[in-house]
Amino acid sequence: MARVKISEWKAKQILLGEGYNGVQIRLGKKQALSASKKWVVKVDQGIKKRFKQGLVKVGVSAGEAVTATKEWEKKGFTQFIAEPVFQHENNEEQYLSLERVRDGVRLLYTKDGGVNIEEHPDKVQMLVLSTPESILSAETQTGLPHGFLVSLVEKFEKSFMTFLEINPLVVRENGVALLDAACLVDSAGAYFTREWSEDDVVKSKAKHDVEKHVEDLAATTPASLKLSVLNPDGALFLLLSGGGGSIVIADEAQALGAGKLLGNYGEYSGGPTREETYLYTKEVLALMLDSKAKKKALVIAGGVANFTDIKSTFAGVIDALSESAEKLRKQGIKVFVRRGGPNEAAGLAHMRTFLEKENLLGSIYSSVDPITAAMRDAIHFIK
Amino acid sequence: MSLIEQIRKNNNGIVVAGNHPAILQSILDFDFLSGETEPSVKVCLIANRSTLKLFFGTKEVLIPCVKDMAAALIVAPEAQWLLNLQSGRRVFETTNLFFQLFPKALGAHVFAENVPEKHATDLIALWGDKKIIAGPSGVGILVSGVLKLGASGGVGLAQIAQGKLTQKGSLAVVSTSGGMTNELIVATAHSGKGTSFSLSIGGDRFPITSLSRVLELAQEDSQTKAVVYFGELGGVDEYEIADLVRTKKLTKPVLAYVAGTIDEAFEERMQFGHAKALVARNDESARAKRDALHAVGVIAPETFPEFLEAMKSLPGEVLEDVSASITPLMNRAKSILSTREIVDLESTPEYVSGKKLAKSQSYAFARATLSALLGRDVSDVTAAFTESILTQLIDHGGHVSGAVNTMVTARAGKDLVSSLVAGLLTVGPRFGGAINESARTWLRGVAAGKDAKTFVEEETRAGRLILGIGHRKYRVGVPDPRVEELSRFASLLKKHPHYDFARAVEKIMTGKQGTLILNVDGAIASLTLDILTECEGLTHRELTSLIDAEFFNALFVIPRSIGFIAHFMEQKQNDEGLFRLPDELLFVHSDKKQKKRK
């Protein structure tokens, strides 16, 4: 995905450089904290509203900080940040964010920051920074310390950040303190920057095994392979192609009142090979066979492909289906197909022959039929 | 004149950066079926080859490939478009350079999905106002019957026909999704309205040419009667449409489908396929955007089937059906090697005329060659005869084993000597080695004093093939012109027993089958024996020792080396990259049961 979160610790390290005194703590790795200081310790996995969830401890000793991380580890968290406490008053807290927009970098700033920024949109200054002059003028307009914004935007650009939120920000005569920071970077920038690496991208929640497998597979191909588990005990499982077409087909489920019966959403596109399609299909089938729903249907559908070869991708789908044909039959699963594109006739003919032979055929449609036809039939089947 | 109308009148030359054979082939097919006389793709930036072979109609053409944009400018200075198929890492640099070097160019399509946002916004700042740039991502630009810049409309021949891509239609197709662009194009064809033009703005966060600009193009284009739009949840593009409609900048009917109501089924906002397809704020939901479009009079149906139905009541029609049939193109077989004619096999030079040597030339190279091989100066007849066979044997087309080996080796990136040797190593009993063995046969037959009939019977009984006899193409009644020409040398000799014997054997053999005629190898072998005997005074023993020393093979290897070198050079100049046999030309049989996939 294009915009990904990196850890708060890494973001601050990029922004503050050598002078940054925060410590990163990761699961299973010991990290010595100075016993003479009081610490703020937080879960550092890109989670919103950490304070309300009890994932922040303020003013604790080194020992207490370690105890806190141990507690959080039990809840499944793996990455933390510890910083020396920065004493300040609530009314010193300011808000600043930068976001890449079409015509430059959009700055949102208010002196009255704190946690309630969303409730006071009227107090927020909004400026678009597109030229060196516009940055200097923004410094004047906001009253931020001389050079701070220039340096911040430079680092923002250099490290391919797309969103940076500092809240609260404390500005004093002798410098600026970033108390909390959230940062999104552009994953496509990884090749161009040395400021961060794949290792700094935060992994949010623990994922379903099947999602992890697909993620690993997607990392090794130029084609696009995506899968999200929606309802492990769903009745409709989807093997969809195309970013846009897949949503149209899923929409049809929602329109026919079956949105909550979807077991997964996902799509393959961009010309995956037969082998890649085989591996992807295997994951969807594994998920489907595990579902406890009584009546289940597999929807193999997509738009009229531009360059994804239907014959070879369907060959991969059939490879996977034939491995599980017996189990699919035992569970009474039927397969509903709609697809078009290069080598459509040959691909659909193979699919039909295979599904008929294995007694798995629900219905099969080509590019002359609506994109939603297979989904409609599948819903009638499971209801 | 509006931009789309300008494109319709233009000569739309394309510079391609990167390689995607299926997309490029579809562009050439589109050009051909639209009635163009030459491909719109003028040059490709590909590092490891100097030509790319594609079909234009049923014939193959070689598209020049160059290493950098400056070289592309030299090959195609008039190009108007860039089709950038490179990875996201190189997009900014190449696209920027293209517009710098081709200031008159109209636009580009950037195909890659992983273009950094910063690079996209930089391209917007530099070229966004001046050029039409579809992407990053998506399937590019299609102006029906005129320009196909990218995968838009599909890449198969059947898809070009099904989507009526070469026929000028009435609906502008605008979509963030590449796949749905195609779905919509097919739908416009089914509805009988056809597509006037289509621009896929791509699913990235910052499309270089914005949705508003595309809608402006649709409004300006007189051929476009209405707009069909596909959008998704996430982003706020649809509010741009609503604004344009409200402010009457877009007055043509708009039919829109905003996908993503499925998001309402989940508690958490979900990231869908495209980068932008995530609802960050409430106004980015499919529902909210549909409502906003409704409010200004855009037709925004609830379901996709309703959307398709609504398309039928839009204004417009397919304006003209100019497309050629795809049928002749359906069974094209790709060639696997590209070569040229190295010697004109149809024209054989005349050496003997009216029983005399025709040209009083010095035949210096033939003389020097024979002097080296035989250790003696030779007569005019011997020199002329040798000259004629050296000339004839230079090449026999790219089909033969030695030429194929040379070409395959050259394409593997090997040097001249390696490629030449790879070709020469095929010379032997089945290829090119027949002259030597044929000479042995004629010499033996004449020395034994047997008549041809007995000789043929003995050879056949012993299971020996008579080399120098038989041709795949020529037969009795359709003589091989090269053999005809060589045979005239017999008229310069007092006696030609080996040649006579060979002809006698031919007579017996053609009695069985018309193609078993004396071939070039057999004619060369027999006449060389007669000429060396009469003009050079060689004895039977000396001739035997020449055969054992493969002198007759040398007569083949020397000229054919030139042919192989010519094939090597042409391959280096074409530089089509490493050779690999396509699947359909390789039969893989297996005795074992197919291994189960693990």
pLDDT for B266: 76
Q: Does the pLDDT value for residue B324 go beyond 80?
A: no
Place of tokens 């000479």: B439
Which site among B93, B157, B182 would you substitute to test the A interface, given the most A Cβ atoms closer than 10 Å to its Cβ? B182
Mean pLDDT confidence for B563-575: 93
Q: Which residue among the candidates B119, B274, B471, B567 is catalytic per the annotation?
A: B274
Is residue B264 within 8 angstroms of chain A, CB to CB?
yes
Least confident of B150-154, B292-296, B449-453, B470-474: B470-474
Touching A: B residues 13-32, CB under 8 Å: 20, 22-23, 26
* Averaged pLDDT for residues A293-321: 93
Instruction: Give the pairing type, strands B14-17 and B41-45.
Output: parallel
Distance CA A248, CA A234 (A): 19
Strand partners, A80: A25, A43
CA distance A1 to B402: 52
Choose one of B325, B340, B367: the last residue of a domain: B325
Q: How many CB pairs under 8 A join A and B?
A: 189
pLDDT surpassing 90 at residue B7: yes
B209: closest chain A residue by CA: A102
C-alpha distance from B133 to closest chain A C-alpha (Å): 15
Mean pLDDT across chain A: 90
* Chain A interface, best mutation among B89, B180, B264, B276, by max A CB count within 10 A: B180
In a domain, B364, yes or no: yes
Cα first-last separation, chain B: 60
Residue A304: the pLDDT is 87
pLDDT value, residue B481: 85
Q: What do you get for the CA distance between the two ends of chain A, in Å? A: 35
User: B459 and B377 in one domain?
Assistant: yes
**Does residue B63 belong to any structural domain of this protein?**
yes
Bond before B305 cis per omega within 30 degrees = no
Residue B137 φ/ψ region, left for φ over 0, alpha for ψ in the -120 to 50 degree band, beta for the rest: left
B499, B553: one domain: yes
Shortest CB distance from A367 goes to which of B23, B162, B260? B162
Rounded distance, CA A47 to CA A60, Å? 21
Residue B586 covered by a domain: no
| Encoded tokens for A163 | 């969103």
Nearest chain A residue to B91 by CA distance is: A188
CA distances from B391 to B352, B396, B519 (A): 15, 11, 16
User: In this structure, is residue B66 part of a structural domain?
Assistant: yes
B154–A305 CB contact, under 8 Å: yes
Helix (H, G, I), strand (E, B) or coil at B502: helix
Q: Give the tokens for residue B297.
A: 């009079």
Residue B585: band (very low, low, confident or very high) from pLDDT cuts 50, 70, 90: confident
- Banded pLDDT at A1 (limits 50, 70, 90): very low
How many Å lie between the alpha carbon of A367 and the closest alpha carbon of chain B?
8
Binary contact (A245, B183; C-beta < 8 A): yes
Compute the distance between CA of residue B386 and CA of residue B369 in angstroms, rounded to an integer.
9
Q: What is the pLDDT of residue B371?
A: 94
Contacts of B360 (CB under 8 A, 6+ apart): none
Tell me the average pLDDT across B136-165: 92
Q: Are residues B461 and B421 in the same domain?
A: yes
What value does the mean pLDDT of chain B take?
90
- Model's pTM, two decimal places? 0.82
- Find, among B139, B268, B153, the residue nearest to A243 by Cα: B139
The shortest CB-CB distance from A102 to any of B124, B154, B232 is to B124
Residue B458 has pLDDT above 50, yes or no: yes
Establish if B260 touches chain A: CB-CB under 8 angstroms. yes
**Which residue, among B87, B126, B232, B272, would best test binding to A if mutated, counting the most A CBs under 10 Å from its CB?**
B272
- pLDDT tens profile B379-410: 999 999 999 999 889 998 898 999 999 999 99
Say what the pLDDT of residue B482 is: 86
| One domain, residues B321 and B360 | no
Q: How far apart are CA B574 and CA B577, in angstroms?
A: 9
Q: Which residue, B325, B344, B374, sits at the end of a domain? A: B325
- What does the radius of gyration of chain B's CA atoms come to, in whole angstroms? 35
Q: Can you give the three-state secondary structure of B277-317, one letter per residue?
A: CCCCCHHHCHHHHHHHHHHCCCECCCCHHHHHHHHCCCCCC
Q: How far is A150 from chain B (nearest CA, A)?
A: 17
Q: Which of A244, A252, A323 sits opposite B176 (nearest CB)?
A: A244
Whether omega for the bond prior to residue B315 falls within 30 degrees of 0, making it cis, is no
Which residue in chain A has the smallest CA separation from B259? Answer: A248
Distance CA A46, CA B178 (A): 32
Range of the domain at B480: 352-574
User: Is residue B213 included in any domain, yes or no?
Assistant: yes
**Residue B190 bears catalytic tag:** no
Percent of chain B with pLDDT over 90: 67
Same domain for B312 and B393: no
CA B360/CA B353 separation, integer angstroms: 12
Question: Does position B594 have pLDDT exceeding 60, yes or no?
Answer: no
Question: Other C-beta atoms within 10 Å of B1: how many?
Answer: 10
Q: Which sign does the torsion angle of CA A285, A286, A288, A294 carry?
A: positive
pLDDT band at B598 (very low <50, low <70, confident <90, very high): very low
Cβ within 8 Å, pair A248-B261: no
Q: Are B371 and B320 found together in one domain?
A: no
Interface contact flag, B182 A368, Cβ < 8 Å: no
Asked if residue B211 lies in contact with residue B205, where contact means CB atoms within 8 angstroms, the answer is no
| Confidence check: pLDDT of A116 > 70 | no
B574 CA to chain A: closest CA distance, Å?
27
Q: Which residue has the tokens 């478009």?
A: B81
User: What is the average per-residue pLDDT within A79-88?
Assistant: 93
Minimal CA separation from B593 to chain A, in Å = 16
Q: Summarize the confidence of residues B301-326 as an average pLDDT.
A: 83
Residues 281-310 of B with CB under 8 A from A: 286, 302-305, 308
**Tokens in use for B368?**
């020097």
Q: Is residue B568 domain-resident?
A: yes
Q: Which residue of B has its CA nearest to A224?
A: B273
Contact B277 A243 (CB under 8 A): yes
**Chain B interface test: which of A306, A319, A324, A367 (most B C-beta within 10 Å):** A306
Verify whether the Cβ–Cβ distance A100 to B308 is below 8 Å.
no
Average pLDDT over residues A268-289: 92
Return d(Cα A75, Cα A47) in angstroms, integer: 14
Look at residue B230 and tell me if it is in a domain.
Answer: yes
Which pLDDT value is given to residue B410?
Answer: 96
ipTM tops the 0.95 cut: no
Interface contact B186-A189, CB threshold 8 A: no
Residue B474 has pLDDT above 90, yes or no: no
The average pLDDT across A27-37 equals: 81
Note whether B321 and B431 are same-domain residues: no
Residues B306 and B356 in one domain: no
Q: pLDDT digits over B65-104, tens only? A: 999 999 999 999 999 999 999 999 999 999 999 999 999 9
A130 interaction partners in chain B (CB closer than 8 Å): 125
Of B88, B179, B304, Cβ closest to residue A305: B179
CATH number of the structural domain spanning residue B8: 3.40.50.261
The per-residue DSSP string of B320-387 comes to B--PPPSGGGTT----S-----SS-TT-----EETTEES-----HHHHHHHHHHHSS---HHHHHHHH
What is the domain count for chain B? Answer: 2
Q: Which one of B117, B186, B237 would you mutate to disrupt binding with A, by most A Cβ within 10 Å of its Cβ?
A: B117
pLDDT at B276 over 50: yes
Q: Is residue B340 part of a domain?
A: no
Instruction: Strands of chain A (E only): list them.
Output: 3-6, 23-26, 39-43, 56-60, 79-84, 93-101, 104-110, 125-129, 161-172, 175-178, 181-186, 224-229, 236-241, 264-269, 297-304, 334-340, 361-365
> Are both B298 and B430 inside the same structural domain?
no
The pLDDT value given to residue B63: 95
Looking at the fold, whether B365 and B304 belong to one and the same domain comes out as no
Enumerate the residues of chain A whose CB falls inside 8 A of the CB of residue B23: 307
- Across the interface, which of B115, B155, B266 has its CB nearest the CB of A342? B155
Chain A residue with Cα closest to B286: A251
Q: How far is B465 from chain A (nearest CA, A)?
A: 47
- Let me know whether B371 and B321 are in one domain: no
Are A125 and A108 contacting, i.e. CB atoms less than 8 angstroms apart? yes
Distance from CA of A40 to the nearest CA of B (A): 30
Q: B129, exposed or middle or buried, with CB in 10 Å at 0-12, 13-18, 19+?
A: exposed
B369 and B512 inside one domain: yes
Task: Tell me the C-alpha distance between B437 and A38, whole Å.
Answer: 99
A-chain residues near B210 (CB < 8 A): 102
Report the alpha-carbon distance of residue B572 to residue B200 in Å, rounded: 39
B26 beta partners: none
